[in-house]
Copies of this chain bind each other. A is one copy, B any other.
């Protein structure tokens, strides 16, 4: 059902993106932490592939509240919109490298847009469950699981995401997020290291998973 829906996309050459650094010779863009990739209201001409680092996608509510829809890590695609105008913002979380692709008939490689859209849809639906299944601890546990899934095999990894980003992603406050992390430490489920306490060492993966259910 998902085959044969690819259309031809090609890498964008020599094009500058939203104030980001110029493309390198392999057409990828290097970004420093918090650099903007695109903003709400811009024309949506390109989709992006994350080569390294991480990207956050967010919206601003009428009240000026930031809400992070999703994070994208290495190997994932983002930037596919319903219309041709951006409805959200994309920023690098940390040192990040992305490759832009845009519609072109002289395509280098076909990209399965439907597959990307459906993957994003599945992610969005999963997040709905996480958020609705309230209890701050469950949400934070689910978030740590999501981060851990990006590092299969490793029991220690760097989340690279601030408490504030986590809060805006999970619909909580920074204080609540911090309290949940202390609870997870008290339960001997994980350790936090690094000066910003963003390096997670999983002590009891099973207990973490059972928290999210």
Contacts and interface: CB of A to CB of B under 8 A. Distances in A.
Interface stretch (A16-24, A34-42, A122-130, A185-193): A122-130
B113 A5 contact: yes
A137 interface: no
Interface stretch (A80-88, A145-153, A154-162): A80-88
A121 B1 contact: no
Contacts of A114: 5, 113-114, 117
Given A103-B1, A113-B5, A113-B114, A69 B125 contact: yes
Nearest to A122: B82
A82 B119 contact: yes
A27 interface: no
Contacts of A67: 128-129, 132-133
Sorted nearest first, the 10 A-B pairs with minimum C-beta distance are A132-B171, A124-B124, A117-B117, A82-B118, A62-B213, A82-B122, A121-B121, A114-B114, A117-B118, A131-B131
Residue among A7, A61, A87, A132 with max Cβ neighbours from chain B (10 Å): A132
11 contacts: A67-B133, A69-B128, A82-B118, A82-B119, A82-B121, A82-B122, A114-B114, A124-B125, A128-B128, A131-B131, A134-B171
B5 A7 contact: yes
Nearest to A8: B4
A114 B120 CA distance: 12
A84 B65 CA distance: 38
A63 interface: yes
Contacts of A118: 80-82, 117
A105 B85 CA distance: 33
